[in-house]
Amino acid sequence: MSATPTISIYEVTFAQSDKTDAILIVEGKKLHVNKALLSYHSDYFNTLFNGEFKEKSMPEIPIEDVKFEDFATLLSLLQAEPICPKKENAEKILELADRFLLPTVKFPLDLFLANSYMDRYDKVRIGDKYEMKKVFDQGISEFTEDDRFYNMKSYSRYQSLSDKVKVAVLSLRFRRLGDCVQEIPIEDVNFEDFATLLSLVGPNPIEPAAEACVKLLELADGFMLPGVKPYIERILIASDIGCLGKIWIGGKYGLDYLLDNGLSSTESGGYSFKGIISSDYFKKLPEATQLKIINIMLK
């Protein structure tokens, strides 16, 4: 006598009933769903079920490039008794929520992740990426006194965060320091330069003079604020700094538009690429910039 095959929670949740009227096929397995429910919550499924596509009349509709368990968990979040996501697949479900245009499911996922044991770096990264306030705020609150700023700066996971997240983390750190001391010293920086730098991540930036931009780029690298560079780059492109200065600054600080602006105005500025290549100036340029100039010469 053969054993009765075990039915998974995913198949039980999406078993056929008097409320289902469509079948989705994922990895060869059937999900019985309600068209009206999915169409109400998702523009993707509304178009799939009600638009002028061949799938509209198909008895079974295949869904490609998704894992059965992840997709079933995603759709279950619209039901009265959802399948609880796992910490390990929660981000994948969020990706699917974006792909299948299901913003409603982000709320329960936000609550789940905020109360999970997920690492604080992942919480703030995911909260920032998917615009989920609860998990973002919870992740920020989990940074402690042990998260020393000088250690964080060299930590690859910190470096991968967006400028918005870095500002939130450091603001919390500074607020906590402010509870203990009245003033927080920032050493080895000019007051005007540092104030201008920080203003560039706010709503009312202080526009720097062109001659101060190199120093601001140094500070942006030192305090890991790459998001301010495009603002500084626009000022330098519009400035009367010569083409050689634009090439040097653009190459050193990874400002491609500034570099290209300098290169395009080289000959009109009275210089030749042949002369530049044979100069000491050329030897001081980053190798990538040198290669770019050589490629221009070879065209």
pLDDT tens-place string over residues 154-192: 567 777 777 777 777 777 766 665 555 556 678 888 999
Residue pair 246/259 in contact (Cβ under 8 Å)? The answer is yes
Q: Which SS3 state, helix, strand or coil, does residue 26 take?
A: strand
One-letter amino acid at 141 equals: S
Phi, psi angle pair for 30, to nearest 5°: -95, 135
**Does residue 67 lie within any of the structural domains?**
no
**Lookup result for tokens 């929520």:** 97
d(CA 132, CA 138): 10
pLDDT at 266: 84
pTM of the model: 0.56
Does residue 249 sit within a domain?
yes
Q: How many structural domains compose the chain?
A: 1
Mean pLDDT of 135-144: 84
- How far, in Å, are 112, 114, 174, 189, 240 from residue 198 at the CA level? 34, 29, 14, 12, 25
The predicted pLDDT at position 295 comes to 86
For 134-155, what is the mean pLDDT?
71
Residue 33 lies in a domain: no
pLDDT at 299: 73
Least confident of 70-79, 251-260, 268-277: 268-277
Domain extent for 283: 207-298
Max distance between CA atoms of the chain, in angstroms, equals: 92
- As a whole number, mean pLDDT of residues 215-222 equals 92
Q: Which residue has the tokens 């050493």?
A: 187
* DSSP designation for 23: E
- Lowest mean pLDDT, pick from 40-54, 152-166, 225-239: 152-166
In a domain? residue 198 = no
Contact in structure between 32 and 23 (CB atoms under 8 Å): yes
Residue range 124-144: mean pLDDT, rounded: 88
- From the list 232, 299, 230, 228, the residue with the least C-alpha distance to 263 is 299
Q: Rounded to whole angstroms, what are the CA distances from 135 to 160, 192, 193?
A: 18, 36, 34
Mean pLDDT value of segment 77-87: 89
* Contacts of residue 56, Cβ cutoff 8 Å, sequence gap at least 6: 48, 49, 50
Query: Whole-number mean pLDDT of the chain?
Result: 85
Percent of the chain with pLDDT over 70: 88
- Report pLDDT for 3: 56
Q: Find the mean pLDDT for residues 232-251.
A: 91
147, part of any domain: no
pLDDT of residue 175: 64
Which range (119-133, 176-190, 256-270) has the least confidence?
176-190
Confirm if 63 and 26 have CB atoms less than 8 A apart: yes
Residue 44: per-residue pLDDT: 93
Model confidence at 119, pLDDT cuts 50, 70, 90, reads confident
Q: Taking residues 45-50, what's their average pLDDT? A: 91
Contacts for 161-165: CB closer than 8 Å, 24+ residues apart? 161/121, 161/124, 161/125, 161/128, 162/128, 162/227, 163/201, 163/225, 163/226, 163/227, 163/228, 164/128, 165/124, 165/125, 165/128
Using the predicted structure, report yes or no on whether residue 17 has a pLDDT greater than 60.
yes
Lowest mean pLDDT among 112-116, 243-247, 274-278: 274-278
Residue 2 lies in a domain: no
What's residue 148's pLDDT? 54
Percent of the chain with pLDDT over 90: 39
Q: How far is residue 275's CA from residue 297's CA, in Å, rounded to a whole number? A: 11
**Tokens 């929660």 -> residue:** 90
For residue 17, the one-letter residue type is: S
Identify whether 254 is part of a domain: yes
Distance CA 80, CA 234 (A): 52
**Local structure of 205: helix, strand or coil:** coil
First-to-final CA distance of the chain: 78
Give me the pLDDT at residue 173, please: 64
Q: Residue 149: is its pLDDT beyond 60?
A: no
Q: Does residue 182 sit within a domain?
A: no
